[in-house]
A and B are shown apart, each in its own frame.
Chain A
Amino acid sequence: MIRPFLTLLVLALVLAAPRLDAGDAPFALAPLPYPPDALEPVIDAKTMEIHHGRHHKAYVDNLNAQAAQIPELAGLSLLDLQRQMSRFPTAVRNNGGGHWNHDFFWNLMTRPGTGGEPSAALAAAIERDFGGLDAMKQAFQQAGLARFGSGWAWLIVRPDGRLAITSTPNQDNPLMDLVPEAERGTPILGNDVWEHAYYLAYQNRRGDYLAAWWQVVDWGKVSAHYDRAIAELAPSAAAAAAK
């Protein structure tokens, strides 16, 4: 009688412990949505383990350290934080941006060759705004190559519903209210061009990494981001974007 009770007690304590931790820290590192070797040979398992388990984890840990100093942060969703970033210190910008960007990035990718195609609506918008998928990819790769130093390349939905390609330095992103207005929008696709994203496999050859990366893009996810971004636009902009 005693032993099952103790077992349950121990089990309850073990289960409660992580919850107590999560309660103290408002931001959490989600597991990768696939095994670390799922993106091989485009992105190797070692890169994924270090990128997620050390770089992304450091952003989460540092953001939680900031939240311990700035209680207001705990009450904000990660998305809302991006949109109000100008109110916070640089450490929140760097680590809060790093957390959102990497969450977004992991969930855009899937096993090579299984990512499908853009939805009809997204394909039409890409055709309208870039003249075709290949032209969009070229412009996106160019933005990634031209980002000097560390940063990200993005495909965004602008406030007028049009698609555009931008890039941001370091861990900034197009949601942040401190990004120049002309480069702001809702990201539907983003690629990390920090050297840590590709150095183990591609070294200085960022262009090769950018070209290979399309093999792991999950177009179902990108299309869903596009639909959501259009749905959130003001009705007049959404109507214009549909034309």
Chain B
Amino acid sequence: MAFELPPLPYARDALAPHISAETIDFHYGKHHQTYVTNLNNLVPGTEFEGLSLEEIVKKSSGGIFNNAAQVWNHTFYWNSLSPKGGGEPTGRLADAITKSFGSFAAFKDEFTKVALGTFGSGWAWLVERPDGSLGIVSTSNAATPLTGPDRPLLTCDVWEHAYYVDYRNARAKYVEAFWNLVNWEFAASQMR
């Protein structure tokens, strides 16, 4: 059974002006699609045939891992964004953020720092640790918290293709814009 590109949870132009329709066309329509296509080409005839996407991410390495994890990471990223996003979280997630980082502002600063400090291609994540505390992690290339004990709640893609059309080298401006799009309801729904 082939993997499919999940539908984008909003219109291509819904995230403008923070993320343009042109960026979505390439990022979702080309990059995300290519990872799906590559995965479907790589998996048949291997021990991973018939496994779910998450199982493949957790058990594979090399090219299969890169493509499977990028399929998963991008779907998670689209869900982390919303045209109705931004602002601050409420309820349980807000409490957990205050408890782990001191304040929402302190969390935002630290997440931004991690996103800007990820050298090369990668991702910044808000994760829930096994002990219930929250943390911020950076992963390189396709690496994802899914393979470890942390539970991802929110991600920001800092591969250059995520922002180059709109922001060129100015990753800081992209991350600043990202805060206007964060889907806090989705992040909260990922908590244990």
Tell which of A71-79, A106-114, A191-199 binds the partner.
Answer: A191-199
A residues lining the B interface (CB < 8 Å): 50, 54-55, 58, 90, 94, 148-151, 169-171, 194-196, 199-200, 203-204
Choice from B26, B119, B159 contacting A170 with Cβ under 8 Å = B119
Query: What is the number of residues of chain B that contact chain A, defined by CB distance less than 8 Å?
Result: 19
Most A CB contacts (10 A, CB to CB) among B119, B122, B142 go to: B119
Known contacts A149-B120, A171-B120, A200-B164; 16 further A-B pairs (Cβ under 8 A): A58-B169, A90-B119, A94-B119, A148-B66, A149-B122, A149-B140, A150-B121, A150-B160, A151-B120, A171-B119, A195-B121, A196-B164, A199-B164, A199-B165, A200-B168, A203-B26
- Report if B20 contacts A (CB, 8 A): no
**B34 interface residue, CB < 8 Å from A?**
yes
Who on chain B is nearest to A46 by CB?
B168
Chain B residues with a Cβ under 8 A of chain A: 26, 30-31, 34, 66, 119-122, 140-142, 159-161, 164-165, 168-169
Q: Are the CB atoms of B34 and A204 closer together than 8 Å?
A: yes
Residue of chain B at shortest CB distance from A91: B119
CB B43 to nearest CB in A, in angstroms, measures: 17
Contact B121 A149 (CB under 8 A): yes
Instruction: Evaluate contact between A150 and B142: CB separation under 8 angstroms.
Output: no
Q: Which residues of A contact B120 (CB under 8 A)?
A: 149-151, 169-171, 194
Q: How far is the CB of A172 from chain B (nearest CB, A)?
A: 10
